[in-house]
Structure 1
Amino acid sequence: MGTVLLAAGVLLWSAAHLFKRLQPAKRAELGDTGRLYATVAIFASILLMVLGYRWADPVWLWPRAGWMIHLNNLLVFVAFYMFAVSGLKTSLARRIRHPQLTGFKAWAVAHLLVAGSVQGVILFGGLLAWAVVSVIVINRANRDWTRPPEAAIWREGVALVAAVFLMLVVGIIHGWVGPWPFGGGA
């Protein structure tokens, strides 16, 4: 049952996010009601993914080596940095068209490394597939990309500090609700 809920959550997440891109006229027709539907669907998908992941009996596909935890943490840090880059419109945002989706893909790959179970593949592999498809769909719909203006160098420093802060806060919360992400037990 858990695996079914997990897969349903990943599919609902994907559908809620891709609806605007695949059905822009229908989404525009719905207006604010469409935004409300999407928000409810996204929250429902997260609930389904969390419950499904917790309730699924783990079927292990590969063991987790100690070095994988360190690579996972590096990739998660890159993911947080890419989110900060997007929000702050740093100079790196001029070179990467989709910094948030790039960060999301780094996060998903990181978790695939350390969650070597069937439910890990469904969750993180499914979300990785969604992010890849999203980039393709967005690029096909909007072939012309206007790069953001040049940004002050201090923004890169702020993005770096924000990524460190987020890594620590989310890591602590992760340790409360799941496995301790920084290795060394707990």
Structure 2
Amino acid sequence: MAMLVLGLVLLLGVHSTRLIAPGLRDAGVARLGLLPWKILYAVLSLIGLVLIVQGYGEARMAPTLLWAPPVWTRHLAALLTLPAFVLMACAYVPGTRIRAKLGHPMVAGVKIWAFAHLVANGTLADLLLFGSFLVWSVVMFATLRRRDRAAGLRHPAGSASRDAIAIVAGIVGWAVFAGWLHLALIGVRPFG
């Protein structure tokens, strides 16, 4: 469990530097340069992700059950992850109306993904993993929206065709992940 917690602290900490220490990125870029800063950020994030995967995998071998979610929550999780994938796709497709409206669709997608998995799983490791991501994404989304409003930042209005591209990409990504990759990478079949 310690490895899972360390990974969460590292990954979410790195992704919270603008909240925790707003000047840290600028100071790091000034000292190291933009590319070395991005490499350091990516390496630390990857280490955190590896620790999370290994720690969560170990915790699943001897789970501490906190509650027994009803079977229908797995169906709810499968349904909720679909819009989460669409929102995550919107973060990478420029010019969507969805991004213009939300401002930070990736963080909104993480919020829905974490909530869906928290509802459908009832072990201590699940609470730590998905609960941490849920709390982080709620705080991050609110903070980023507040920052955007204070700066007068408006995301450019998007087009319906860009929304369609993001929606299709999100649905395809969701289908591939739920149909094949979730079992291969996580060891759990969402639909079976």
With the shorter chain as reference, the TM-score category is 0.7 to 0.9
SS in structure 2 of the partner of residue 87 of structure 1: coil
**Residue 152 of structure 2 is aligned to residue 124 of structure 1:** no
Structure-1 residue corresponding to 2:65: 60
Structure-1 residue corresponding to 2:87: 82
Structure-2 residue corresponding to 1:150: 157
Residue of structure 1 aligned with 2:97, choices 91, 102, 118: 91
Query: 2: distance between equivalents of 1:149 and 1:140?
Result: 17
Would you say the 8 A contact 2:103–2:155 is kept in 1?
A: no
Residue of structure 2 aligned with 1:104, choices 90, 94, 110: 110
Would you say the 8 A contact 2:77–2:117 is kept in 1?
A: yes
Structure-1 residue corresponding to 2:39: 36
The TM-score with structure 2 as length reference comes to 0.85
Count of aligned pairs: 181
Amino acid paired to 2:190: P
Residue of structure 2 aligned with 1:168, choices 159, 172, 175: 175
The TM-score with structure 1 as length reference comes to 0.88
Encode CA deviations 1:41-91: one digit per residue, 9 max, x unaligned.
Answer: 111111111111111121111223221111101111111111122322321
Structure 1 unaligned spans of 5+: none
SS in structure 1 of the partner of residue 140 of structure 2: helix
Q: 1:119 to 1:145 in 2, by over 3 A?
A: farther
Query: 2: distance between equivalents of 1:154 and 1:115?
Result: 36
Structure-1 residue corresponding to 2:190: 181
Would you say the 8 A contact 2:91–2:106 is kept in 1?
A: yes
Query: 1: distance between equivalents of 2:69 and 2:84?
Result: 21
Would you say the 8 A contact 1:20–1:27 is kept in 2?
A: yes
Query: 1: distance between equivalents of 2:141 and 2:173?
Result: 24
Would you say the 8 A contact 2:65–2:122 is kept in 1?
A: yes
Amino acid paired to 1:50: V
Instruction: State percent identity of aligned pairs.
Output: 30
Q: How far did residue 155 of structure 1 move?
A: 2.0
Give the aligned CA root-mean-square deviation in angstroms: 1.8
Query: 1: distance between equivalents of 2:114 and 2:168?
Result: 22
Structure-2 residue corresponding to 1:70: 75
Structure 2 unaligned spans of 5+: none
Q: How far did residue 145 of structure 1 move?
A: 4.5
SS in structure 1 of the partner of residue 155 of structure 2: coil
Would you say the 8 A contact 1:97–1:145 is kept in 2?
A: no
Structure-1 residue corresponding to 2:11: 13
